[in-house]
């Protein structure tokens, strides 16, 4: 008799984007002539950098010849990519990362989702609220939580509210936790944690023998000097933090797939007998058992962004999105709305006017301005009363959407 993993039954349906699509379709059928602009996109829209395309074409040609064909590669990634990652993102900033501390993968969603496997099944998980749903859902699937309560929170999970009141810098947990997920710059709020705020978390993790799971998928969007690009910029983080990075938002690899995880060998956790073990060795074991490496062709495309020309091309694409972010942020502030994010991240998190529920604001924005965004409530209970717009659209659409919101939205 095969029984299912009943933890899966605790998860609600993938309600958020399905409900957005349903409401947009209903509006469209009632107003077939309305020109709807989508500022809810969580995906890049610009094509891959030319350097990546060239490198991938060359890699395809290598695959066509017996002499240069490649079969299975190292599970952890090719040295040419790992060395380029270390040089550009760590060594050149004075940060020490060794080759066997970097694990190349098919993206951060997999890594952020799979990392929980190497922790005990009774570990206590802390997540910020609102949050990128992967951290929470994968722990629900693994049985680290109880049921979903009427308040929208899973039993046993420690939620860390991130709101306007605390400047989107959550307070330390009020009870002991073991795994702490932090995303900076943040999706969905677009906000960041300062060096001082992050130092607080590193100190907490060191004192409480916890591990920080630091998602830096948007590191390349940081413009302000006080926001760390890597958690390893903080003293002591090499003993308590794992860092996730991705080529998706940095270089348009959302469909091409490449990311990496850094696990310093000095990050350890206890076995029940009290002995301490490096998490690097556990992840290495998991990676080589369950993963067979990212495609050689893709790794060549990813490595190309670390050339001088590649860095220029990537910066140009990010600048394009960040100009969209500026247009949205300034346009909505001028309307008197409270707007957060959009300075170090391609997300703008706005407070709905007059405390309106986020789904009510969704309908209002769609009806009055024909603009689609994402209701904050979909990212966690503390997202209620907020709304996410993204800077990943085209320039013309972004400008048109903001102009329309300013003319037509009654706030």
Ligand X SMILES: *Cc1c(COP(=O)(O)O)cnc(C)c1O
Closest distance between ligand X and the C-beta of residue 188, in Å?
Answer: 8
- Cα–Cα distance between 49 and 186 in angstroms, integer? 24
How far is CA 128 from each of CA 179, 260, 332, rounded to the nearest angstrom? 12, 22, 26
Q: How many residues bind ligand X (CB under 6 A)?
A: 14
Residue nearest to ligand X (CB): 107
Closest distance between ligand X and the C-beta of residue 57, in Å?
Answer: 22
Q: Compute CA 334 distance to the chain's CA centroid, rounded to the nearest angstrom.
A: 29
144: contact with ligand X by CB under 6 A? no
| Beta bridge partner(s), residue 374 | 388
Residue in 189, 246, 256, 294 binding ligand X, rule: CB under 6 A: 246
Closest distance between ligand X and the C-beta of residue 400, in Å?
Answer: 25
Select 248 or 284, whichever has its Cβ closest to ligand X: 248
Select 103 or 132, whichever has its Cβ closest to ligand X: 132
Q: Of 101-109, 155-163, 297-305, 358-366, which segment contacts ligand X by CB under 6 A?
A: 101-109
Q: Of 106-114, 195-203, 286-294, 375-383, which segment contacts ligand X by CB under 6 A?
A: 106-114
89: contact with ligand X by CB under 6 A? no
Give a three-class secondary structure readout of 24-47: HHHHHHHCCCCCCEECCCCCCCCC
Nearest to 102 by CA among 302, 314, 270, 311: 302
Residue in 217, 305, 348, 377 binding ligand X, rule: CB under 6 A: 217
Contact 350, 337 (CB under 8 A): yes
187: contact with ligand X by CB under 6 A? yes
Closest distance between ligand X and the C-beta of residue 277, in Å?
Answer: 26
Nearest to 312 by CA among 49, 65, 88: 49
375: contact with ligand X by CB under 6 A? no
Residue in 116, 192, 230, 248 binding ligand X, rule: CB under 6 A: 248
Select 197 or 370, whichever has its Cβ closest to ligand X: 197
Select 45 or 254, whichever has its Cβ closest to ligand X: 254
| Positions of E strands within 203-354 | 211-215, 241-246, 259-262, 268-270, 276-278, 339-341, 347-351
Range 268-297, binding ligand X (CB under 6 A): none
| Beta bridge partner(s), residue 159 | 127
- Cα–Cα distance between 95 and 75 in angstroms, integer? 24
Nearest to 341 by CA among 224, 225, 197: 224
Closest distance between ligand X and the C-beta of residue 138, in Å?
Answer: 12
- Cα–Cα distance between 89 and 179 in angstroms, integer? 25
Q: Of 105-113, 137-145, 225-233, 281-289, which segment contacts ligand X by CB under 6 A?
A: 105-113
- Cα–Cα distance between 49 and 53 in angstroms, integer? 7
Q: Tokens 């310093």 label which residue?
A: 264
Select 114 or 313, whichever has its Cβ closest to ligand X: 114
Q: Which residues bind ligand X (CB under 6 A)?
A: 107-109, 112, 132, 183, 187, 215, 217, 246, 248-249, 254, 259
């Amino acid at each position: 008799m095969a029984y299912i993993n009943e933890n899966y039954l605790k998860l609600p349906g993938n309600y958020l984007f399905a409900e957005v699509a349903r409401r947009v379709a209903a509006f469209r059928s009632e107003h077939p002539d309305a020109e709807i602009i989508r500022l809810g996109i969580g995906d890049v829209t610009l094509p891959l950098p030319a350097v990546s395309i060239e490198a991938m074409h060359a890699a395809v040609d290598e695959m066509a010849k017996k002499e240069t064909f490649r079969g299975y590669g190292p599970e952890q990634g090719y040295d040419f990519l790992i060395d380029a990652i270390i040089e550009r993102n760590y060594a050149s900033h004075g940060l020490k990362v060794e080759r066997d501390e970097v694990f190349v993968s098919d993206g951060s969603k997999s890594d952020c989702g799979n990392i929980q496997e190497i922790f005990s099944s009774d570990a206590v998980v802390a997540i910020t609220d609102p949050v990128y749903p992967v951290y929470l859902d994968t722990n629900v699937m693994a049985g680290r939580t109880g049921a979903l309560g009427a308040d929208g929170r899973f039993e046993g999970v420690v939620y860390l509210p991130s709101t306007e009141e605390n400047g989107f810098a959550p307070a330390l947990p009020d009870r002991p936790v073991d795994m702490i997920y932090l995303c900076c710059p943040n999706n969905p709020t677009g906000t960041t944690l300062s060096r001082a705020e992050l130092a607080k978390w590193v100190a907490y993790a060191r004192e409480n023998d916890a591990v920080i799971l630091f998602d830096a998928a948007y590191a390349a969007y940081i413009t302000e000097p006080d926001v760390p690009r890597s958690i390893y910029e903080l003293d002591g983080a090499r003993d308590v933090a794992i860092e996730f990075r991705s080529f998706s938002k940095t270089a348009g690899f959302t469909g091409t797939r490449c990311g990496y995880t850094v696990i310093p060998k000095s990050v350890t956790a206890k076995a029940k007998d009290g002995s301490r073990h490096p998490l690097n060795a556990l992840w290495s074991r998991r990676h080589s058992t369950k993963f067979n490496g990212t495609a050689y062709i893709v790794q060549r495309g990813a490595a190309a962004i670390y050339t001088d020309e590649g860095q220029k091309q990537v910066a140009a694409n990010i600048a394009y999105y960040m100009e969209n972010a500026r247009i949205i942020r300034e346009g909505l502030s001028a309307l008197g709305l409270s707007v957060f994010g959009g300075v170090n991240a391609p997300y703008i998190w706005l407070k709905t006017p007059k405390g309106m529920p986020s789904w009510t604001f969704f309908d209002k924005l769609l009806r009055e301005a024909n603009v689609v965004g994402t209701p904050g409530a979909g990212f966690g209970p503390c997202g209620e009363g907020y709304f996410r717009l993204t800077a990943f659209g085209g320039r013309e659409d972004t400008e048109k959407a903001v102009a329309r919101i300013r003319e037509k939205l009654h706030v």
